[in-house]
Amino acid sequence: MSPDPAVQAAAQPDGRVAVIALEGVPEICPGDDLAAMLLEALRNTPLALPLRDDDVLVVTQKVVSKAEGAIVDLTAIEPRPELVAFAERWDRDARQLEVVLREARRVVRMANGVLITETRHGFICANGGVDASNMGPLSGNVVTLLPVDPDASAGRIRAAVARAFGVDVAVLISDSFGRPWRWGITDVAIGVSGMLPLDDLRGSPDADGRIMRSTVRATADEIATAAELALGKTAGRPAAIVRGTHPTRGEGRIADVLMPREMDLFP
Amino acid sequence: MSPDPAVQAAAQPDGRVAVIALEGVPEICPGDDLAAMLLEALRNTPLALPLRDDDVLVVTQKVVSKAEGAIVDLTAIEPRPELVAFAERWDRDARQLEVVLREARRVVRMANGVLITETRHGFICANGGVDASNMGPLSGNVVTLLPVDPDASAGRIRAAVARAFGVDVAVLISDSFGRPWRWGITDVAIGVSGMLPLDDLRGSPDADGRIMRSTVRATADEIATAAELALGKTAGRPAAIVRGTHPTRGEGRIADVLMPREMDLFP
C-alpha cells in the first residue's frame, strides 16, 4: 500500500496525529511469540518505521490473550442453575456467563440480558472482558479471558521493541468496552507500559491562563480509541502505531485509571 | 439481519487514519460566523485540502456555544440555598451549579462534589456540559451551555463546507465527558451531521465468518476522541479533520446514540 501523504505528514508534532495499522500480523495461537510477530509486522509496515520515541504501540487484548493462552474451552464448563435461566431468557450462552462469574470480583449489574462485573484487575465492564469473537481456528466453543497482568503484557512487548529497534515506545493493550447511557463500544486501555495513562492538567493554565480545576485527560484511553479507528472489528488487524500524541512518559499502571470504590457514584 | 455492505465497508478501513488540527482559528465571540472562520482555517491548513468525501470535520462544543451565544453571565445568577451548602462543602461555584440545574431534565447523581445531570438533549454527564474553561476574553464570570441543537449546529457547518468546497464531509460537534469507574475525560460526539453515529455490526461476520451478536461500534464518539488527541485542552485548537475512518454516511442524529431510560442500568 502506498503511503498516503496526509497520513505521512500527519505524523508530525503539533496538531497532527497518525494511526498506522500494522500489516501482516498472522493469526495468533496459544504459545506464539506475539512480540516477535509484532516486530515482523513493524518491519512489514513501511510507515511504521523508523519508530519514534513518542510513538505508542497499541495491541488489542484478543491477540495478547490468545498468545498467553488466556483461553477457556466452554465444553468443559458447567454453568450454575441461575445462569441457565438468565441465559435462556436472554438468548445468551450460559457457559460463557459462568466463565464471566468465575473471573469476577463482584457482579455490578445483571439485568436486561447484560452481565456487568468487576474483574480481578478492577475493570468494570460487560461480560468481564470474556469474548467469543474473532477466535480464528479456535472458533466455536472457546472464549478469551483478559490477560492476567495486562501492564506486564505491555511491558514485555515494549522491551522486545526496544531490543529490536533501539527505541523505547510506550505500549498499550486495548479492549472494547461499552458505556452506561450511550449505545456502542469504544476501545479503552487495559494495560500500559512506558507512559502515564492520565494527564493531570489540574493546576495548569488553560488557553487564557485560567487555572484548570478538574481536567484530567484520559490519554491512554483516547489513544486506544484512536487505534481502533484504524483497526476495525473484522479486518484481522490487531495492532497499530499511534504517532504524534506526545504521551507523558513514565512508569504508569492501568490501575491509576481506576476510580476507587469510595468515589464511585455507580456501584 | 443481513450484513449491510456500507456497514461492512465501514468496518474495514484501510488501516490508516490521520487527524489534522485546523490552523489559525481565531478566538470566537458571540455572533461570530463560526462556519466562515472554519472555512478560512481549512484554507490555512495545507494538509486539510483538498477535502475528501470520507473526511469528518470535528468541531469542539466550546466554539459552537460561543458563536451561538449559548453563554450565561454568572453575576446574574442567584443559586438556590441547597446548592450554596453543597458548593461550599466541595469548593465549587454555586452559581455554576445553579445553571447546571436550570439546564437539566433531571439530576442523576449529586455527591462527592460531583453533579451529574441529564441535559435537555438526553446527555448524561457531569455539570450538564456547563463549562467555565477556555472562555477567552469572556473569562471570569461566564460559562458556556451546550448548543441548543448540536445536530443542527453540525448541519450548518456541513452546509457551509459543501458550498465552499463542493465536498460533503460529515461534521461532528464534540465535548469532553467523564466516565463512571475510570478517572479522566475523553471526547464524545454531542452533535452529528452526514454520518451514522453508530455502526451496527450485529449480524455481520467477524474475521472468521462468525456472526457477531452484540457489536455496535460507537464510531462518532471514537472519531471525536481521536480529534481530541490532536486538539488538546490548552492550545486553542477547536477543530480538526479526521481522515481515513470511512464513516457510514447517512442522516444520523446524536439521539441515536442515547440509551433509552428503560435499558439504562445506571439510572
What are the tens digits of pLDDT across the range B22-81?
A: 999 999 999 999 999 999 999 999 889 999 989 999 999 999 999 999 999 999 999 999
Examine residue B39 and state whether it is found in any structural domain, yes or no.
yes
Q: Which residue of A has its CA nearest to B111?
A: A265
The tens digit of pLDDT for each residue in A133-174 reads 877 777 778 999 999 999 999 999 999 999 999 999 999 999
pLDDT value at residue A4: 55
Domain of B201, CATH number, reads: 3.30.1330.100
What's the length of chain B? 267
Q: Which of B40, B31, B45, B11 is nearest to B230 (CA)?
A: B45
Q: How many domains does chain A have?
A: 2
Contacts of B259 (CB under 8 A, 6+ apart): A180, A181, A182, A183
Are B59 and B138 members of one domain?
no
Residue A183 lies in domain: 5-68+147-257
What's the mean pLDDT in A207-215? 72
Examine residue B186 and state whether it is found in any structural domain, yes or no.
yes
Are B57 and B83 members of one domain?
no
**pLDDT grade, residue A93 (50/70/90)?**
very high
Examine residue B264 and state whether it is found in any structural domain, yes or no.
no
Q: Which residue of B has its CA nearest to A4?
A: B16
Q: Which residue of B has its CA nearest to A46?
A: B16
Residue B163 has a CB neighbour count (10 Å cut-off) of 10
Residue B214 has pLDDT above 80, yes or no: no
Domain of B86, CATH number, reads: 3.90.1660.10
Amino acid symbol at A108: V
Q: Chain B contacts of A245, Cβ < 8 Å?
A: 229
- The number of helices, as runs of H, and strands, as runs of E, in chain B is 7, 12
pLDDT value at residue A6: 57
B14 vs A159, residue with greater confidence = A159
pLDDT value at residue B134: 74
Distance CA B267, CA B256 (A): 18
Domain boundary among A81, A109, A138: A138
Please say whether the beta carbons of B104 and B119 come within 8 A: yes
Domain boundary among B101, B126, B143: B143
Examine residue B266 and state whether it is found in any structural domain, yes or no.
no
* Cell triple for A102: 468465575
Contacts of B51 (CB under 8 A, 6+ apart): B42, B161, B165, B167, B169, B241
Residue B11 has pLDDT above 60, yes or no: no
Examine residue A12 and state whether it is found in any structural domain, yes or no.
yes
pTM above 0.90, yes or no: yes
Examine residue B211 and state whether it is found in any structural domain, yes or no.
yes
Are A155 and A98 members of one domain?
no
Optimal mutation site among B177, B182, B195, B196, interface A, most CBs of chain A within 10 A: B182
Task: Judge whether B21 is closer than 8 Å to chain A, CB to CB.
Answer: yes
Are B51 and B29 members of one domain?
yes
The tens digit of pLDDT for each residue in A27-39 reads 999 999 999 999 9
Are A155 and A252 members of one domain?
yes
Are A77 and A120 members of one domain?
yes
**pLDDT grade, residue B251 (50/70/90)?**
very high
pLDDT value at residue B247: 96
Are A159 and A100 members of one domain?
no
Is A179–B182 a contact, with Cβ atoms under 8 angstroms apart?
no
Residue B238 has pLDDT above 90, yes or no: yes
* Cell triple for B9: 465497508
Domain boundary among B83, B118, B143: B143
Are B83 and B51 members of one domain?
no
pLDDT > 90: percent of chain A: 80
Does ipTM come in above 0.90?
yes
The tens digit of pLDDT for each residue in A193-203 reads 999 999 988 77
**pLDDT grade, residue B1 (50/70/90)?**
very low
Range name among A133-137, B149-153, B225-229 with the lowest pLDDT average: A133-137
Are B243 and B159 members of one domain?
yes
Angle at A251 between CA A246 and CA A252, to 5 degrees: 75
Q: What is the rounded average pLDDT for all residues in chain A?
A: 91
Distance CA A18, CA A227 (A): 9
Are B63 and B166 members of one domain?
yes
Are A132 and A222 members of one domain?
no
Are A165 and A62 members of one domain?
yes
Distance CA B198, CA A58 (A): 23
Is A265–B109 a contact, with Cβ atoms under 8 angstroms apart?
yes
Q: Residue B184 is nearest to which of A23, A217, A266, comparing CB atoms?
A: A217
**pLDDT grade, residue A206 (50/70/90)?**
confident
